[in-house]
Chains A and B, each alone.
Chain A
Amino acid sequence: DTGVSQDPRHKITKRGQNVTFRCDPISEHNRLYWYRQTLGQGPEFLTYFQNEAQLEKSRLLSDRFSAERPKGSFSTLEIQRTEQGDSAMYLCASSPPFRLAGGGDTQYFGPGTRLTVL
Chain B
Amino acid sequence: GNSVTQMEGPVTLSEEAFLTINCTYTATGYPSLFWYVQYPGEGLQLLLKATKADDKGSNKGFEATYRKETTSFHLEKGSVQVSDSAVYFCALIRQAGTALIFGKGTTLSVSS
B45: which of A6, A95, A109 is its contact (CB, 8 Å)? A109
Contact (Cβ within 8 A) B100 A48: no
Instruction: State whether A105 and B104 are in contact (beta carbons under 8 Å apart), knowing that A42-B89, A110-B43, A112-B43 are contacts in the complex.
Output: no
Kindly supply a per-residue 1/0 record for chain A positions 28-46, scoring 1 wherever the CB is within 8 Å of any chain B CB and 0 otherwise: 0001010100001111110
Q: Chain B contact residues (Cβ within 8 angstroms of A): what range?
A: 20 to 34
Q: From the candidates B32, B36, B101, name the one contacting A105 in the complex (CB within 8 A).
A: B32
Q: Is B29 an interface residue (CB 8 A)?
A: no
The answer to whether B96 touches A45, judged by C-beta atoms less than 8 angstroms apart, is: no
Interface size class of A (residues with CB under 8 A): 20 to 34
Contacts of A40 on B, CB cut-off 8 Å?
Answer: 104-105
Most chain A CB inside 10 Å of its own CB: which residue of B97, B101, B102: B97
Residues of B within 8 Å of A95, CB to CB, are 96-97
Please measure, in the bound complex, the distance between the C-alpha atom of A109 and the C-alpha atom of B45, giving whole angstroms: 7
Give the nearest-CB partner of A48 in chain B.
B99
| In contact, A111 and B42 (Cβ under 8 angstroms) | yes
B44 at the A interface (CB under 8 A):
yes
Contacting residues, chain B, for A33 (C-beta < 8 A): 99-100
Most buried by A among B45, B46, B98, B99: B99
